[in-house]
Amino acid sequence: MAELLPQLQHICGEANVLFDQDLSAYERDWRGREQGRALCVVRPGSTAEVAAVVKACAAAGVPMVPQGGNTGLVMGSTPDDSGREVVLSLQRMNKVRQMDAANATVTVEAGCLLERLQQVADDAGFLFPLSLASEGSCTLGGNLASNAGGTQVLRYGNTRDLCLGLEVVTAQGEVWHGLSGLRKDNTGLDLRNLFIGSEGTLGVITAATLKLFPKPAAQRTAWAAVPSVQAAVDLLGLSQQQLGSGLTGFEMMGQVALGLVAKHMPQLNIPLWQDAPYGVLLELSDTDSEDHAHAQLERLLEAALTQGCVSDAVVAQSLAQSKELWHVRESISMAQAAEGLNIKHDIALPVSAIPTFVTYTDALLAQQLPGVRMVNFGHLGDGNLHYNVQCPLNTDAAVFLQTHEAQVNQWVYEAVKSFGGTISAEHGIGCLKADTLPHYKDPVALAMMRSIKQALDPKNLMNPGRMLGQG
Amino acid sequence: MAELLPQLQHICGEANVLFDQDLSAYERDWRGREQGRALCVVRPGSTAEVAAVVKACAAAGVPMVPQGGNTGLVMGSTPDDSGREVVLSLQRMNKVRQMDAANATVTVEAGCLLERLQQVADDAGFLFPLSLASEGSCTLGGNLASNAGGTQVLRYGNTRDLCLGLEVVTAQGEVWHGLSGLRKDNTGLDLRNLFIGSEGTLGVITAATLKLFPKPAAQRTAWAAVPSVQAAVDLLGLSQQQLGSGLTGFEMMGQVALGLVAKHMPQLNIPLWQDAPYGVLLELSDTDSEDHAHAQLERLLEAALTQGCVSDAVVAQSLAQSKELWHVRESISMAQAAEGLNIKHDIALPVSAIPTFVTYTDALLAQQLPGVRMVNFGHLGDGNLHYNVQCPLNTDAAVFLQTHEAQVNQWVYEAVKSFGGTISAEHGIGCLKADTLPHYKDPVALAMMRSIKQALDPKNLMNPGRMLGQG
């Protein structure tokens, strides 16, 4: 191991092996929960350098933690506190390798920032639809490794659905040249999807070929007050029926969540929030025109009012108004933070199960923890709720969390499991949920995952302990 | 092994273990290339029976060949001629287990016919978009195991894109309960996509939860004469830009292919085929109305005529006319068969590479085999060509194939490889291409696939030798 640092310096240059300086940007997780300690941070500049780094670490028996923008929410990309793990940062590999307009694809390196790729696509006349709160800091490699979700999944899918091919350095330091602009390719087992979402536990994604989409001719947004979660689900069904794939956003927000926004961001204009227990933000992307989009939304909302799944609604009259509505939705996280700590859950359920799940779990928590406030909002179109639990008014949030978090998690996760849901919809497992996963995952599936991990990384050096635990 | 038959009879009932009768429907491949010989055909009626069958076979060291409708095109679901393999037919497991309209999903067993599922979806007010020539005979389990393509991939993706969850019996006879109606679930490695497209080499898919889509309000079809393959690619880009996800079909057909239809099906009315080297069939699915669809298509074709990528075009005036246009496209296979044997290729390329690939490969084949006729047609929107090679006029097709098939395959596949394409777009590998695959697949990828196969099926009893060869 003593020889490893000089080897890494030889491979990447001295300036790209960091050890005798403040490494907290690489060692501390995004939410600031924990700070690990790395043997060093190595920043290779090419696929060949990544391969050489992996070979050197593997030969030395040193574990590696691949890292992109380090914006993950489950402590999957930071080192433990042993001082034995090498952080393998992909930040220097940030090139856009190829824009292929006629194929509607772009090939980028893993360290390319999501925001930059969005811009590159836009400049070429396309849409790259992945969109996340951290898009100014997160990288495509991290998005792929964690199969990131975001606000456009309803129409365009998760990150895996946007990827056609990968370049990967295996745990042995071999290069799999799997970049591909093909939309059909049935030549063997699906390694691409295996590496996507593998959280760095199987190898290192160094580049990817991604799908681009035509830009819509028009986008229009509407806000609907709905009398219940069931009504929101009914509105979703009606919207999909009438708008098809034109429906590119469907966000549900509970009154408590909107009330926090009203309290902490009084300058924002929140439509109709005091009139109904839930609000829904709908977005239509139209291939025809602004007028057509507007007419389609009006038609939808008239039908919804007639059916009774909407009690009142407004259609944004301009792009600026649309942005204001989205701004309300996106302010919920900050409003929560301003209100104080809460217990967060990134869950998904079959859409059909959500009304009963919410009724059941709301009642359970209200009974067990009187006065508790449910900050319930999320991507209803994907069945994905951020079902967060805020302490009762006039309570110390830190004490509340310390006392109740483990128990609340268990209540929520048990309910999620019994309704056919998942304990991690879009954030992944990392270290944060590695111990929890075995309680909620099918044991046969878990055993297969561990067999695959063992087959591809027999020395257990790629992000060990994350996702699948110590097995 | 002598004890296996009574064991299987005990598990599934005597009537469901076939051995002393004509088994050719199970032993002969769909295109009639070869007839194998099975130890027996076993037809379990439930997941528990499948698991017990697999356990019994595994204990006896007997290889299993999972089989659905046996309509595959690459000899992946028929036994070899050793008389040692058990055909595990899923035909009796054909139930629709659950329709969940509010979640827009349906859960079906592996033996359910595709056509039946289409009907079930339609009856519930939805579209299940997978559509294949063999839909009256093929099963969902087979569609999933081969990741089937078809005519709607452009908009709805391949079979893997339509599936949310699986139930699988592993090679050890354990049941993975992975049925799920979730659109987001980041809890570990992606086993679902690993099993989809695995051609029965890792385990047995027994059931799946599939996505349903809203039915479009209107569908309109147009036919365009285009002056070149490049013009067809330009038209594709323009169509995607103007119609977005409304574009649900984009089929290109060369003049030779259309000429065969004209020759052998003189009753069909083929628009504009004598005027241009290629024809394109476009389909628009619209969420608004017939009138809107018509106007959108007219707008597109006007722009295309102005740009010069279309020389002439017709828009179908009715659903009946639309069907007639599709009928021409779907008659190409039969017209080819009427003309005689030809050398078939199921290839895909980046769309941007197709014009140069066709120019290069057409010229190569014309030079090497003067008079050869290129029957080139396919799903251009997916980059998928059926690039078929018909013998020169007044030549014996059987002799031509015997003399030239291997060499022609090599020329075409080498060209495909050099242009970044694949030798199997939608049909898979099976036995037919298992020996060819290693010449064209990345060796690191192939090694990883074999490691995974070894990890999940260490005794190599699940469809051995198919896809990955004997390793």
pLDDT digits (tens, 9 = 90+) for B317-342: 998 999 999 999 999 999 999 999 99
> Are A104 and B189 inside 8 Å of each other by CB?
no
pLDDT tens digits for range B338-397: 999 999 999 999 999 999 999 999 999 999 999 999 999 999 999 999 999 999 999 999
pTM of the model: 0.97
At residue B33, does pLDDT exceed 90?
A: no
Contacts of B191 in chain A (CB under 8 A): 445, 448-449
Is B289 within 8 Å of chain A by CB?
Answer: no
Integer Cα distance of B49 and A427 in angstroms: 37
Chain B residues inside the 8 Å CB shell of A440: 187
Chain A contact set for B382 (CB, 8 A):
183-184
pLDDT score for A471: 53
Whether the CB of B187 is below 8 Å from some CB of chain A: the reply is yes
Record: contact B241-A191, CB cut-off 8 A:
no
CA-based nearest distance B216→chain A, Å: 7
> Given this model, what pLDDT does residue A31 score?
84
pLDDT of the residue at B331? 94
Q: How far is Cα B13 from Cα B134, in angstroms, rounded to an integer?
A: 30
Collect the ranges in chain A with pLDDT lower than 70.
Answer: 1, 471
Distance (Å, whole) CA B28 – CA B42: 16
Contact flag A352-B102 (C-beta cutoff 8 Å): yes
Report the distance separating Cα A353 and Cα B102, nearest Å: 9
Tokens standing for residue A405: 């978090």
Q: Test B170 with A422 for CB contact under 8 angstroms.
A: no
DSSP state of A215: P
> Distance, in angstroms, between B372 CA and closest chain A CA?
27
CA-based nearest residue to B350, from A211, A396, A343, A44: A211
> CA of A291 to nearest chain B CA: how many angstroms apart?
13
Is the alpha carbon torsion for B287, B289, B291, B292 positive or negative? negative
Instruction: Select the residue from A168, A182, A187 to test the B interface by mutation, using most B Cβ atoms within 10 A.
Output: A187
Using CA atoms of B297, B301, B304, B305 in order, give the dihedral in degrees to the nearest 10. -170
Report yes or no: B200 and B145 within 8 Å, Cβ to Cβ: yes
**The two three-digit tokens of residue B9, written as one number:** 């009879």
Q: Could you report the per-residue pLDDT of B94-123, keeping only the tens digit for each?
A: 999 999 999 999 999 999 999 999 999 999
B100 close contact with A: CB closer than 8 A: yes
Tell me if chain A has a CB within 8 Å of the CB of B206. Answer: no
Cβ separation B197–A189 shorter than 8 A: yes
Which of 261-280 (A) contact B at CB < 8 A? none
pLDDT of residue B471 exceeding 60, the answer is no
Q: Do B240 and A153 touch (CB under 8 A)?
A: no
Residue B449: partners with Cβ closer than 8 Å, 6 or more residues away: A188, A189, A191, B468
B350 contact residues in A (CB cutoff 8 A): 100, 103, 105, 181-182
CA-derived radius of gyration, chain B: 23
* pLDDT at res. B470: 77
| β-strand partners of B384 | B348, B379
> How far B174 CA lies from chain A's nearest CA (Å)?
7
pLDDT for position B151: 85
3-state SS class at A162: helix
d(C-alpha A399, C-alpha A404), whole Å: 8
Six-digit token string for B38? 């099975």
Q: In this structure, how many other beta carbons lie within 10 angstroms of the beta carbon of residue B2?
A: 6
- Residue A134, CA atoms < 13 Å, CB-side half-sphere: 17
Q: What is the pLDDT of residues B261-316, one digit of tens each?
A: 999 999 999 999 998 999 999 999 999 999 999 999 999 999 999 999 999 999 99
Q: Count CB neighbours of B371 within 10 A.
A: 10
Q: How high does pLDDT run on average in chain B?
A: 96
Instruction: Report d(CA A464, CA A461) in Å as an integer.
Output: 6
Structure tokens at B16: 């469901």
At residue A466, the pLDDT reads: 97
A363: left (phi over 0), alpha (psi -120 to 50) or beta: alpha
What band does B1 get if pLDDT is binned at 50, 70 and 90?
low
Pick among B47, B54, B184, B346 to test the A interface (most A CBs inside 10 A) = B184
Chain B within 8 Å of A220 (Cβ-Cβ)?
no
Query: How does strand B38-42 pair with strand B85-89?
Result: parallel
Calculate the CA A145 to chain-centre distance.
Answer: 10
In chain A, residues 378-407 whose CB comes closer than 8 Å to chain B:
379, 382-384
Query: Would you state the structure tokens that stand for residue A151, as one six-digit string?
Result: 């606000």
Strand pairing class (A175-178; A96-100): unpaired
The CA distance from B335 to B277, in Å, is 18
Cα separation values, A406 from A372, A401, A425, Å: 15, 8, 19
Structure tokens at A215: 């830009």
pLDDT in tens, B387-428: 999 999 999 999 999 999 999 999 999 999 999 999 999 999
Pairing of strands A278-286, A346-348: unpaired
pLDDT tens per residue across span B215-239: 999 999 999 999 999 999 999 999 9
Q: CA torsion A345→A346→A352→A356, rounded to 10°?
A: 0
Task: Select the residue of B125, B244, B454 nearest A214 (Cβ to Cβ).
Answer: B244
Q: What share of chain B is helix, strand, coil (3-state, %, to 5)?
A: 40, 25, 35
Burial (0-12, 13-18, 19+ Cβ within 10 Å), A22: exposed
Cβ atoms B189, A190 nearer than 8 A:
no
Strand A175-178 relative to strand A373-379: parallel, antiparallel, unpaired?
Answer: unpaired
- Nearest residue, CB atoms, A149 vs list B184, B201, B452: B184
Question: Which residue in chain A has the smallest CA separation from B440?
Answer: A187
If you search the block for the tokens 């009438």, which residue do you land on?
A242
Q: What is the distance between the alpha carbons of residues B379 and B247, in angstroms, rounded to a whole number?
A: 13
Q: Does residue B2 surpass a pLDDT of 80?
A: no
Torsion over CA: A13, A15, A19, A25 (sign): negative
Of B185, B197, B246, the CB nearest to A186: B197
